[in-house]
Amino acid sequence: MMNHSYWQLFISVYKKDVTLAFRQRSEIVNPLLFFLIVITLFPLAIGPEPALLTRMAPGIIWVAALLSTMLGLDKLFRDDFNDGSLEQLIASPYPLPLSVLAKVLAHWTTTGLPMVLMAPVFALLMNLEAQALSATVLTLLIGTPLLSFIGAIGAGLTVGLQKGGILMSLLVLPLYIPVLIFATSAIDTSSMSLAYGGQLAILGAMLAIACVCAPIAISSALKVSVN
């Protein structure tokens, strides 16, 4: 009986967040547009030589992914904090980490997943070869939920502040560095036609740890922000 209701809580929080995002489509489209624009800026700034772009593509795609994830993070808890539903979640008898997990996954579904789906297009724009393409999609698939988990800690800490946005990027971006290193190195390795399973495995391990630990950190951060 209890397990059943935990599952219901998870599903209803997840559904609510995803539905809200789909009602306001700009929330889904804007980070994607931002991603596209950042990627457009690089060839303009460093020159359009295809060889140069191929060399820099993994880094550019991943930096753009980090930045557009940051863009959506501020909204993650802000609305719920303002209308008081966050307080209700904390006060409810259900474990807060569970509802936080649902919220983070909903955030990933609406910002990370579209990025993963659009990744082949971006990879083509940056002149990446076919073999690096699958690596790009795979690293984004494992890496973007990781970004959502880590970022949500920063979002939870700063949600009570008036101007939390810029502070949050200061807190979160240093923590993103390992993800960036392993993801770009996986794409680099794959473009040399070598096996990149090792980097993916490390990313996967980091995701597993984040899945378990991050919800706890996020919920204690939220409790500080709301109290």
Partner 1 sequence: MWKWLHPYAKAERAYQLCNTLLPYFAVITLVCLVIGWVWGLAYAPADYQQKDSYRIIFIHVPSAILSMGAYSSMAIAAIIALVWQIRNAELAVISIAPVGAAMTAIALLTGAAWGKPMWGAWWVWDARLTSELILLFLYFGVLSLYHAFEDKKSAGRAACILAVVGVINLPIIHFSVEWWNTLHQGSTITKFDTSAIDPSMLWPLLINIVAFAGFVGLVTLIRLKNEIIQHEKHRPWVRELVGRGE
Quick one: which segment of 39-47, 50-58, 127-135, 152-160 binds partner 1 (CB under 8 A)?
A: 152-160
Task: Give the one residue of 177, 195, 208, 212 binding partner 1; rule: CB under 8 A.
Answer: 177
Query: Least distance from C-beta 174 to partner 1, angstroms?
Result: 4
3 binds partner 1 (CB under 8 A): no
Other CB atoms closer than 10 Å to residue 154's CB: what's the count? Answer: 25
Site map (CB under 8 A) of partner 1, residues 190-219, x = contact:
----------------x------x---x--
Among 84, 95, 99, residue whose Cα is nearest residue 14 = 99
- Give Cα separations from 78 to 25, 37, 85, 88, 178 (angstroms): 17, 25, 10, 14, 27
Measured from the CB atom, the residue of 190 and 225 that comes closer to partner 1 is: 225
Cα(68)–Cα(72) distance, integer angstroms = 7
Cα(181)–Cα(199) distance, integer angstroms = 9
Binding site for partner 1 (CB under 8 A): 153, 157-158, 160-161, 164, 167, 170-171, 173-175, 177-178, 181-182, 185, 206, 213, 217, 220-221, 224-225, 227
